[in-house]
Structure formats: C-alpha cells, structure tokens
Amino acid sequence: MTDQRLTDELCDACAAGNLPKVLSSLQSGAEVNGLNTFKKTALQVVKLSSTAVVETLIDGGASPDVRDPDSGRTVTHDAAREGSLDTVRVLMRARANVNLVDDQGNLPLHLASRGGHLQVVQLLIPRTAYPRATNGLGYTAAQLAHFHRRLDTAKYIDKYLSAN
C-alpha cells in the first residue's frame, strides 16, 4: 500500500470519527501529519465531535497549528466555529495557538463569538492575547456576537472586557 493511500485512509477515518480505523491506519504506518489527496492533514479533516480521535491524533504527534491552505484556519478555528468545546479543550492542552488569525483576520474567538458558542468563548477569551482585536472586516468578537444576535455571548464578552 502506498503512503498516499495510507494517509487518505487515515483522513477518511478521521472525517468519519472512526477511532478503530484511525488506530489501525496509524499502526499501519500512516503519517499523522501527512497530506491527503486534497492537501489536508488528518487533524484538519477530523470529525470535530470525535474528541477521542482528536486526542489520538495529538498523542500521535499531530500538529494543531497547521493551517488550511484554502482559508488559513487551524483546527482550533474550526472547532471554535462549530462550538466543539471538548475538542477546543484538547487542542489547548496540546498547546494549540489560539492567537493565530485566519486569512480573514479571524481569531478562534471571533468565530466562536459569531456562532454564539458561549462556553467556547469563556474558554478562549482569557487565553487570547488581545480579545479586543478586530478581524479583517474591522469587527471585534463582541461586535460579531452583537451583530449576529448572540446576546448571552455578547453580554459575557462585554462584561469580561469591562473587567479587564
């Protein structure tokens, strides 16, 4: 079996959240940071709700800060955007950089705020170097929460920023 095929199988298993197949692929020699046919790593295509798969990839040496070539996003951006709290926790324990911006200037905090993912915002905001940062369109995380009517999230961010 070729290395590319192993990497593609690993990525397919990750996208499906199939932990047994992920483990089998890794044991067969799939490169945890290898690029699939679409130039994505296993962590970039992982089913974000599959925390055990994310942990397995991290334990296997997957880099959480690899950027998607199309958007500049990391898996932390994706997990924050989707509100995948447990996955964001795993990534942060793996020292994922929550201060990286994507190609549109968004921090993971911006994406979590826009989606109204309050628990993710609560996790990210104290670890974000500059939570008042604007994205490429000039919006702060608080402004995005207000604009998208994520009122609990907006209220939390406003209160946090006024205290800090």
pLDDT score of 20 more than 50: yes
Distance CA 146, CA 76 (A): 22
pLDDT score of 19 more than 80: yes
Average pLDDT value for residue range 26-38: 93
Helix axes 3-16, 51-59, angle to 10 degrees: 150
Task: Tell me, yes or no, if the two domains 1-62 and 64-164 fold the same way.
Answer: yes
Query: CB of 54 within 8 A of CB of 91?
Result: yes
Please report the pLDDT score of residue 56 as a whole number: 97
Average pLDDT value for residue range 148-163: 97
46 token code pair: 């992982």
Q: Where are the alpha helices (DSSP H) in 17-99?
A: 19-27, 42-45, 51-59, 75-82, 85-93
What confidence tens digit (pLDDT) does each residue in 45-61 have? 999 999 999 999 999 99
pLDDT score of 164 more than 90: no
For tokens 């509100």, the residue is 83
Please report the pLDDT score of residue 1 as a whole number: 46
Please report the pLDDT score of residue 3 as a whole number: 86
So where are the chain's domains? 1-62, 64-164
Distance CA 144, CA 162 (A): 17
Phi-psi region of 17 (alpha: psi -120 to 50; beta: other; left: phi over 0): left
99 token code pair: 């201060």
69 token code pair: 């070539």
Superfamily name with CATH number, domain 64-164: Ankyrin repeat-containing domain (1.25.40.20)
- The CATH number given to 1-62 is 1.25.40.20
Please report the pLDDT score of residue 2 as a whole number: 55
Q: Is pTM, for the whole model, over 0.85?
A: yes
Distance CA 41, CA 110 (A): 24
Residue type at 128?
Answer: T
Distance CA 154, CA 101 (A): 20
What confidence tens digit (pLDDT) does each residue in 76-88 have? 999 999 999 999 9
pLDDT score of 110 more than 90: yes
